[in-house]
Each structure stands twice: as C-alpha cells, then as structure tokens.
A and B are shown apart, each in its own frame.
Chain A
Amino acid sequence: MDDLTKVILDYVKREYIEEGDDREVGLDTPLISGGIVDSFSMVSLKRFVEKKYAIQIPDADATPAAFDSVRKIAELVERFQAVKA
C-alpha cells in the first residue's frame, strides 16, 4: 500500500467508522454503495483530500462512483495531481 492510499484509508477508518465497530475496511470496500459514507458525508471526504493534496476536484468529477472506494479516491487524487503538475 502506498502512502496516498494509506493516508486516505486511515482517514476513512478514523472519521467514518464508529469506534468499536469491527467492520473491515480495505482499499476496495464499497464506501458509498456500502453505506459507510453517504453523499452528504462525501463532501467532507472530498474536502479532506483537496486540502491534504492541494487539489481542486470539480463537482462533475466528484461522483458517488468516483468516491466508492479508497482505491478509486486515490486514483482521482492522482489524476488531479497530474493535472496540477
């Protein structure tokens, strides 16, 4: 696991999983369709990655499908980091 996915995974576990909840969350765990992050909470997750990686993700790209797993979010971040570069 690279640093990017680890940071996002740790953040998801810390912020969206209740302390004591024994659900396993991995890189491909469905976040939106799995009910861990809803469309409203997605805003704070988007805000986190934008702030952490100094990028701007347009609303048109911040779809539930694009945020449905840690791996997909990491891919999205990498795409916009490349745009910025």
Chain B
Amino acid sequence: MKKWLSCLFVVILFVGLLAGCGKKEKQSLGSKKDVITFWIAENFEGEGKLWESIVEKYNQDNPDVEVELSIKPWDKTPMNVALQSKRPPDVAFDWFSPPTDAYEDLKVDLLEYITPEEKDDFGPQVIARMLSPKGKMNKWPWYLYRAEWMLANGDLLKQVGANPELIQEQGWNWDEFLSTCQKLAKVGVYGYGDAQSPNTVNILLNGLVGPSISDKDPYEFNWIGAETAGILQRYRNLIFKEKVMPKEVLGIDIFGLHEKFSRKEFGIIRSYTAWVPNLEKEGNISKVYILPYQDQGGLEFIPYLGVGGWAVFKQNPSPGEEHLKNVVKFVKYISQPIDGEFIPMHWGGLPPGGNLRQKYIQGIKNVDPNLKFTLKVMETGKIARALPTAATKINEIVNTYISEAMSGQITAQRAVEKWTAEVSRLLK
C-alpha cells in the first residue's frame, strides 16, 4: 500500500513538472511575429466577445503582428505588479493605468506618434487631458463621456407632474429638485437614493466649485469655505432634514439600489448611463431619463467630461522602435468605430475627435431624449486636465469626512473644517 502511494506521489509530481513545462513550449512556436499584449476588462456583458472578433480580424489583416488579448478582471493588482517588475502589457484599458506621475519611464509618449490632423481633431482640451504633469501624452483618447448622472423613473415623474424632458433641456435647481422628491414621497416612493454619496458630493463640488486642486504649483486646494460646506449641507439634509432619502441607503451598494429602483421604490437615483437599458427592462419602466445635476446656492453646475482611452506602455529595456510603431498602429485602429460599431456607446461614450464625432452622430438613426441630452453635455461640458496623484489622496481625505457627515456623526461645517486642515497638512 505504501509503496503504491509513494509511486503515485512520484508520478504525480513528475507529471506536474512536465505539465508545467509543456504548456510553455507552445508559445515559442510562431515567434516570428511581433507580439502585442493587450489588456481589457469588460464594461458590459459580452464586450469580451466583441474584442475577440476584433482582434482575430486584425491579426488576419496584419500577418506580421500577433495581438494577444487578455480579458482581465476588474483588479489593478496584476497591472501594478507588472509595472513594478518593468514588464507591463503594451496596451491596456486606461482604468488599469497608474496615476499620471508614476512610472514615467514605462509610458510611451504618444505625442511622438500623433499626426497634425489627429491633434487638430481632438482639440487642445482632449489632448491636455491625456498629458502627464510633465507634458507626456500617456494615453490615446478613445471616448468622451460623463457617465454618472441622476437617473429618473419617467413614469413616476410624469405621475407627479414633473417634465423630465424639460429638465433635460433647461436644467433645474436644488429647490425644484427637492419639491419633485417631496411630491414623489407623497405617492409612496422614496424621492431619491444614492449608494455612493461621497462620490456624488465630489461630482457636485467639482461641477459647482471646480476641481479639488488647481493647476498651479504649489497646488491650491479649492474645496474649502462656506460654499463647499453649503453644498455638503444640502446633500446631507436630504437624509436628515427633508427626509427624501432614507438613511438605509448608506448600507447598500449600487446593485441593491438598482434593484429597488426597478421595483419602483425610488423615483430618482444617482447611477451610470450604461445602466439605462437594463433598468428599463428590469423595472418595466417605459423610459428612464438621465437628469442633470442641479444648480444650487447661486452656483451653476458645469459638467466635467472625462476622456477614456488606452494606456500605452513600453517595457524596460525598450522593445524597439518597430514594435512601438506596430503598437501605436493597433491603438489607433481600435480607437475608432469598427464596422459601424463604437463600443463605448454602450455606456454613453462618444468619439472625442470633433469631426469623427459629428460623422458618427449623423449615422445614428434614433436620437432619443437621453442621447440628445448627452450630446448637449458633450458640447457644453468642460474637459479638465488630468490630476496628479495627490488628488487621489485628497479625495480619500475628503470622502472620509463626507461619510462621517452623511452618517450624522458630524455637521457639514465641521467636516469641511476637518478636511481643510488635513489637506493643507498633506500639501505642505
């Protein structure tokens, strides 16, 4: 019995080692091609399949390169580890990208590869968004977007006499928002729900007061003072004073919120445009409207647009100019609509280049109110410069105190005082 066991043990170990070796050999075949490593994560179900066919076609059309697609989970660890060992992938969805001022030596400066026409079409604002503080263009733009908005149940709104399309056209202010919520409460639903309050307050502050830190050097922190406190106070009052948002919402996540929205327990929620079709289907709602954020306290809300794209890396030691040219060619290819399909449209993203966007829009048959609203936002919104790593830390500090304020631990005033103190300590 024992002999048999130990034999089995040896056999398994042997097989194991062999298997471990064997699978590697496969890759050395066909190594004549220039391999481009490409990482994506799925923004919606089925995105991976789309990419598989895109990559397959590209490999067929370009026989001297081989694009290796990796569909990664939404986790930054592999990228961080890869960067730390100086072996990042060639191209990755920019969500995986480290902060703008980290790993400068591993990032490709795409300014070296951009043509004047492309530069023109993107425009200085989009380009500025893709630059690192040192002026390197680390990312190639793929889509323009503002994905986080308030979503409203059109049926319920109409039921209480609100006109969502009018709101989309003209905007609204905080008092109008409150009165709509209260009307919703009278018909037995929660007026408003938000499972990511700190995030939302950030968006409000950004749109009403401006970005957290200014471009100047040394950095100037802008989220201070009475205006800031007022904004936080009004948001906090949704729970404690006007009572249009239930406190329980603090303990659920966005999927739970969606679930309840689908069950018509909430009239308005703060979520993402990508979810509109799902919510309409799940909740049997005839139309879910994207609503703008409100002007308040005499301030006008200006939406800030984000530019999503591809992070392009080079390994250290460098793989060579030929390889980089192939990589950039691939990046430019995937940043355009392919066969009439523009993947970011699934979450409300549009091509960032002016001409390209116009052409694409003209090709859209059905312009529903939400799309009309999105297009308006694209034209009137601002694109801010990419913020340095310090901004992430600042956000964390601010969000900590926002959470405490939303929980009822401290007042909005106190929260702003506390975070102002912390941030100035950080920036010293």
Does chain A bind chain B? no
